[in-house]
A and B are shown apart, each in its own frame.
Chain A
Amino acid sequence: MLEQLFNPGGIAVVGATPKAGKVGNTLLRNLISFQNKDNTARRIFAVNAKYDRILDVKCYPSILELEETVDLAVVAVPAVSVPEVIEQCGEKGISNVVVISAGFKEAGREGAVLESELIQISDKYDLNLVGPNCVGLLNTHVGLNATFGKSVPTKGNIAFLSQSGAFALAVIDWSKAANVGFSKIVSIGNKAVLDECDFIEYLYKDTETDVIAMYLEDIRAGTRFMDIVRAVTKTKPVVVMKSGRTDAGAKAASSHTGSLAGSSEAFSTAFQQSGVVEVNTINDLFDFSLTLSRIRGITGGIAIVTNSGGPGVMAADAIEESGLVLASFGRDTLEKLRVLDMANFYNPVDVRGDADADKFGTALGIVAADEQVGAIISILSPTAQIEFDKAGDYVLDVNKKKPIIPVFMGGESVIGAIDRFKLHGIANYFDPVRAVKALSAVGRYSEGRESVSVQTPYFNADRKAIADLVEARNRKGLKDGVGVEGFKLLEAYGIPVPSCGNAETAEAALELADRIGYPVSLKIVSPDIIHKTDVGCVKLNVRREEVKETFFEIMSLAEKYTSTRRIEGVLVQQMVGDGKEVIVGMKRDTNFGPLIMFGLGGIYVEVFKDVSFRIPPLSTEDALEMIKSVKAYRILKGIRGEPMSDIDSLVKVLLRFSQICMDFPEVLEADLNPVKVFEDGKGCCALDFKMTIGYRL
């Protein structure tokens, strides 16, 4: 669908101008050099009512006057004129438009209205519109530079999408100096029509792109993003730098693009579940992308071959810290290395500072031949004996057989070798730790790809009854489904709960307790009192003779804390036996929908933040992984002679809770806190439940 956008036969530059330094002039200048494969110039047209010719290109008063229908219009006219130009593009049958012009929603009310007009016109003519407020796009493989950047990167297999135009321009400029190749670069601007998902879909099928790198401040459609990326990452790595992770960053991003501050947990969880490699720095964005553009998998451990001990140790530390594993060499390898007279023939292999390039190359060759070695970090510091160019040849030779990351540490003396590496798409690192981190991207990609799944179970539940309940609450304007109604919802979904009921009077509490059986627990029901225990509004092991008195005591304490009007009653509940307390919660994220949280319960959970997240629907594997990935899992497994907890029943609770989240979009937040997990085989039980029901807007 976007083929013509990236490889247009003819292009019109609307707003072209002879004034050097102006965007309309740079755009035209960049496009004039755009040629066909047979080196004939592509058909480029200028549109500007004031001129007949610009830069020796025929100029038309309007796009409607063009003698042919071009494939792409690049628009750089004042914002107020853009809707008319887009309308003309539609009338003329042009399907691809890049709107460079700024002054749209980023500029205020009038701009927002103009942007809405763009969207309407694009819908009317089914236009592929990039921007507005962007710097354009380029495709190195056909020589298309529809940006106002001054240079074009070399050809490569990394595509880069950027929500920041300035960053895109910086990358274009940097890429030339760094000799990093790109297949496509797109500045996605305000994403009025085409957004990151549309471009990812296109790049998925683009044979010239092997890795998709992105800088994003927000994601327009979280669920669609996950669906698309989940499919893409099976074959192509997607590396994303998402800014606005902190409160300060979110505030800045919100001012910059009006983006919405979704929770950083939601973004990270969505990325993890869809196989995205998430990074936090520009270095990582391109280090990871470059590594993944040539290395997709590592089968075996990591070998270090170095002529300097210190950097070798740094690399070894980094390998362990990043979750990679140092390779153990086979006997044959060790025998061969032993005879080379080195400081260390175990991993990290230290060929010593007096080694020359041949000795280094020989060691590299031996290590590369070892089946236990999946990739090599080759570290050289500039000793008098080493010839970097020659050593570089050895690295390039090994690179044909096994992934290798060069760490040629130095300045001028290593420039030649580094330049040769660049020609082969290989990045050199000064810092061994950074090199290892880049290599770890491969591991992260492989893990992410494997975890992309899967089948989700479906449980039968009395949805109608519960839907009625949610609807009734919604209608009455009650926002928090606390108390018995909440427990009914859980019961209908097969989540075990203790016998309970809501009492508005002491008499009613006694009647309920008689029915449930003693002892009972009494808990306040009020949306204003979240931490009930802290204000003395939870009473356990209450006997019959204590029920009325306890009811009044709870009410009296609660009324000190909140208005009578906000107290719904007292929950009378069956007491349950001993077990481990865990929390299962959900918050509906503004970008990705429900985000389920799991963690060990108790009052310190907010301090330790030992919790895991997943975006539902959950598979059994997801649920189990959620439980296993918290540090407190060991406690559930049983420590110091304690019995193991019933993990299987907890998995079922998570799965059924996941289904509630999926079935009821009105449920915006929900917490099962605590869920008591009994010993293995004895199940679990949700002791408390609170949720926020959204209004149907």
Chain B
Amino acid sequence: MKNLLVSSVEEYSGKSAVIIALGLLLREEGFKVGYFKPFGVGITRIGDQLVDEDAYNTAIALNTGDDMDDICPVKLDRPYEDFVCSMFPDVYKTRVLDSYERISADKDIVLVEGAASYEVGIALGLCDRDIASALDLDILMAVKYTSDFVLDHVLAAKEFFGASLKFVLFNQLAGYKKAYVNEVVAGFLKANGMELLGSMPYDPLLAGLFVSEICEALNGEWLVKTEEDVLIEEFLIGAMSPQSALKYFRRVRQAALITGGDRADLQNLALETGTIKCILLTGHLEPPQTMLGKAEEKGVPVILVMDDTLTTMEKVDEIFGKARVRGDAKIKKIKELVAEYVDINRLKEYLG
């Protein structure tokens, strides 16, 4: 049985999502699945524990039962420069090897997650290539299809990894390029010693943010808080007439409306369309009481923020697209996507 390292050419390429889905699908087939993230760079405190947020989230989703310190043995808990200068790389490497031994001891498959992108950690000897070499892992490269030039990034990575880069999995692919990737790019990868394992479409649900996350990021005040923490896939700015806004309201599924507190017309319309799942009121302008009553009745959260619309949108842009796969709906969706678009049988065959 071989284990696999999921790497990426850039941050937020969907490594964790792919690992969660593959892990759960393989487990459903009877495999005992382990998860390992040797070098965590997104550190946060949860309770009294310092954890890599991504690793923590993925470990919870996969529930492998391993100790968090083993799942992510090296955590970037100070500035990277300090880290590079103050410790001996061998210490980390030993820590990684020890933890990996414990994690993999009773597993059929261990899915190893790379750092933010494939070169990260090179100064410490902990980049994805170092890890793959130390643990004898092959590489599955998760690639967000942002433009045709990602092919160059993949080729550069291939040069970096050499033979161990076996598989490529395109993520967030949509539109007419699907046909090109499947018909043209697959052949190109093959000619360069890689295999296209799948190409998953963009799914707005996975990119979505929970209303609570949005409220926290915007330092907002809840005017109407609902029991369910709703997932928001898109943001709309409400500055036009209701009739113009209606067509935009209708084209979304799970959206938040960003508008001024004095735009009762848009707020009431938004509450009726059923597609606006959250209203963000900017400029600290209180809305009419009638609207709040209706929002309560419809179960739509309303958040008041101090910033103006532009600043609010900038803050939203900052956090959007970096959403983690958490919550049942997202996990269910990524499993569906991986099951449909990724050649799991080929992977199993390869893993033995």
Residues of A participating in the B interface, judged by any CB pair closer than 8 Å = 104-113, 115-116, 247, 250-251, 253-261, 263, 477, 479-480, 504-505, 508, 526-527, 555, 563-570, 587-588, 590, 668-669, 692, 694-695, 697
- B144 CB to nearest chain A CB (Å): 11
Contact in complex: A258, B246 (CB < 8 Å): no
The residue among A555, A563, A565 with the most chain B CB atoms within 10 A of its own CB is A565
Instruction: From known contacts A105-B293, A255-B290, infer whether A695 and B178 are also in contact, taking CB-CB under 8 Å.
Output: no
Contact in complex: B176, A109 (CB < 8 Å): no
Instruction: From known contacts A255-B264, A255-B288, A259-B268, infer whether A565 and B172 are also in contact, taking CB-CB under 8 Å.
Output: yes
Least CB separation from B233: chain A residue? A477
B224 in complex: contacting residue of A109, A115, A590, CB < 8 Å: A109
Task: Note all chain B residues with C-beta closer than 8 A to A480.
Answer: 251
B204 in complex: contacting residue of A477, A526, A563, CB < 8 Å: A477
The residue among A105, A107, A555 with the most chain B CB atoms within 10 A of its own CB is A105
Least CB separation from A115: chain B residue? B293
Task: Note all chain B residues with C-beta closer than 8 A to A527.
Answer: 251
Main secondary structure of the interface of A (DSSP, over half): mixed
Of the A-B pairs whose beta carbons lie under 8 Å apart in the complex, a sample of 30, sorted by A's number, is: A105-B290, A105-B294, A105-B297, A107-B293, A111-B289, A112-B293, A113-B293, A115-B293, A250-B242, A251-B264, A253-B265, A255-B264, A256-B290, A257-B290, A258-B290, A261-B268, A477-B203, A505-B176, A505-B179, A505-B184, A508-B179, A564-B175, A564-B176, A565-B174, A567-B176, A568-B176, A569-B175, A569-B179, A694-B275, A695-B253
B175 in complex: contacting residue of A251, A261, A479, A565, CB < 8 Å: A565
Contact in complex: B253, A477 (CB < 8 Å): yes
Least CB separation from A551: chain B residue? B176
B242 in complex: contacting residue of A247, A565, A568, CB < 8 Å: A247
Task: Note all chain B residues with C-beta closer than 8 A to A247.
Answer: 241-242, 265
Instruction: From known contacts A257-B290, A697-B274, infer whether A504 and B176 are also in contact, taking CB-CB under 8 Å.
Output: yes
A339 CA to B290 CA, complexed, in Å:
69
A107 CA to B252 CA, complexed, in Å:
30
B332 at the binding interface (Cβ < 8 Å): no
Contact in complex: A590, B246 (CB < 8 Å): yes
A588 CA to B250 CA, complexed, in Å:
10
B86 at the binding interface (Cβ < 8 Å): no
Contact in complex: B224, A251 (CB < 8 Å): no
- A403 CB to nearest chain B CB (Å): 40
A255 CA to B148 CA, complexed, in Å:
49
Task: Note all chain B residues with C-beta closer than 8 A to A109.
Answer: 224, 289, 292-293, 295-296
Task: Note all chain A residues with C-beta closer than 8 A to B176.
Answer: 504-505, 555, 564, 567-570
Task: Note all chain A residues with C-beta closer than 8 A to B184.
Answer: 505
Task: Note all chain B residues with C-beta closer than 8 A to A256.
Answer: 290
B348 at the binding interface (Cβ < 8 Å): no
Q: Which of B87-132 contact A (CB under 8 A)?
A: none
Instruction: From known contacts A106-B289, A109-B292, A109-B293, infer whether A565 and B202 are also in contact, taking CB-CB under 8 Å.
Output: yes
Contact in complex: A566, B289 (CB < 8 Å): no
Task: Note all chain A residues with C-beta closer than 8 A to B289.
Answer: 106-109, 111
A112 in complex: contacting residue of B172, B242, B263, B294, CB < 8 Å: B294
Least CB separation from B289: chain A residue? A108
Contact in complex: B296, A113 (CB < 8 Å): yes
Shortest beta-carbon contacts, A-B, top 6:
A112-B293, A108-B289, A258-B290, A504-B179, A261-B242, A565-B174
A253 CA to B264 CA, complexed, in Å:
9
Least CB separation from B251: chain A residue? A479
A108 CA to B286 CA, complexed, in Å:
12
Least CB separation from A507: chain B residue? B183
Contact in complex: A258, B296 (CB < 8 Å): no
Task: Note all chain B residues with C-beta closer than 8 A to A115.
Answer: 293
Task: Note all chain A residues with C-beta closer than 8 A to B178.
Answer: 504
- A356 CB to nearest chain B CB (Å): 58
Contact in complex: A254, B297 (CB < 8 Å): no
- B225 CB to nearest chain A CB (Å): 11
A527 CA to B292 CA, complexed, in Å:
33
B250 in complex: contacting residue of A253, A569, A668, CB < 8 Å: A668
Contact in complex: B172, A694 (CB < 8 Å): no
Task: Note all chain B residues with C-beta closer than 8 A to A258.
Answer: 264, 268, 288, 290-291, 293-294
B269 at the binding interface (Cβ < 8 Å): yes
A580 CA to B141 CA, complexed, in Å:
55
Least CB separation from B184: chain A residue? A505
Contact in complex: B172, A505 (CB < 8 Å): no
Least CB separation from B173: chain A residue? A565
Task: Note all chain B residues with C-beta closer than 8 A to A116.
Answer: 297
A68 CA to B202 CA, complexed, in Å:
68
A538 CA to B251 CA, complexed, in Å:
24
Contact in complex: A251, B263 (CB < 8 Å): yes
Contact in complex: A567, B204 (CB < 8 Å): no
Instruction: From known contacts A255-B264, A567-B175, infer whether A590 and B253 are also in contact, taking CB-CB under 8 Å.
Output: no
A697 in complex: contacting residue of B265, B275, B292, CB < 8 Å: B275
B177 at the binding interface (Cβ < 8 Å): yes
- B143 CB to nearest chain A CB (Å): 14
- A285 CB to nearest chain B CB (Å): 24
Task: Note all chain B residues with C-beta closer than 8 A to A567.
Answer: 175-176
Task: Note all chain A residues with C-beta closer than 8 A to B243.
Answer: 261, 263
The residue among A104, A477, A479 with the most chain B CB atoms within 10 A of its own CB is A477
| Per-position 1/0 for B277-306, Cβ under 8 A of A | 000000000001111111111000000000
A561 CA to B203 CA, complexed, in Å:
21
Contact in complex: A505, B293 (CB < 8 Å): no
Least CB separation from A250: chain B residue? B265
Contact in complex: A692, B296 (CB < 8 Å): no
A263 CA to B250 CA, complexed, in Å:
15
- A110 CB to nearest chain B CB (Å): 8
B45 at the binding interface (Cβ < 8 Å): no
B147 at the binding interface (Cβ < 8 Å): yes
Contact in complex: B293, A669 (CB < 8 Å): no
- A563 CB to nearest chain B CB (Å): 8
Contact in complex: B247, A587 (CB < 8 Å): yes
A669 in complex: contacting residue of B250, B267, B294, CB < 8 Å: B250
| Per-position 1/0 for B235-246, Cβ under 8 A of A | 000000111001
- B299 CB to nearest chain A CB (Å): 12
Contact in complex: B293, A108 (CB < 8 Å): yes
The residue among B179, B180, B253, B289 with the most chain A CB atoms within 10 A of its own CB is B289
The residue among B174, B250, B290 with the most chain A CB atoms within 10 A of its own CB is B290
Least CB separation from A106: chain B residue? B290
B272 at the binding interface (Cβ < 8 Å): yes
- A342 CB to nearest chain B CB (Å): 54
The residue among A116, A260, A480, A563 with the most chain B CB atoms within 10 A of its own CB is A260
Contact in complex: A261, B290 (CB < 8 Å): no
A113 CA to B295 CA, complexed, in Å:
11
B272 in complex: contacting residue of A112, A260, A263, CB < 8 Å: A260
Q: Which of B172-209 contact A (CB under 8 A)?
A: 172-180, 183-184, 202-205
Task: Note all chain A residues with C-beta closer than 8 A to B174.
Answer: 564-566
A526 CA to B175 CA, complexed, in Å:
9
Least CB separation from B243: chain A residue? A263
Task: Note all chain A residues with C-beta closer than 8 A to B147.
Answer: 564
- A164 CB to nearest chain B CB (Å): 14
Contact in complex: A692, B268 (CB < 8 Å): no
Knowing that A105-B297, A260-B269, A565-B202 are A-B contacts, what are 19 other residue pairs whose CB atoms are under 8 Å apart, sorted by A's residue number? A105-B294, A108-B290, A108-B293, A109-B292, A112-B293, A112-B294, A250-B241, A254-B267, A254-B288, A254-B291, A255-B265, A261-B242, A505-B179, A555-B176, A565-B173, A569-B179, A590-B246, A694-B250, A697-B274
- A571 CB to nearest chain B CB (Å): 11
- B91 CB to nearest chain A CB (Å): 44
- A477 CB to nearest chain B CB (Å): 7
Task: Note all chain A residues with C-beta closer than 8 A to B296.
Answer: 109, 112-113
The residue among B242, B252, B295, B297 with the most chain A CB atoms within 10 A of its own CB is B242
Instruction: From known contacts A108-B293, A109-B224, A564-B147, infer whether A695 and B275 are also in contact, taking CB-CB under 8 Å.
Output: yes
Contact in complex: B175, A566 (CB < 8 Å): yes
Contact in complex: A261, B253 (CB < 8 Å): no
A254 CA to B238 CA, complexed, in Å:
15
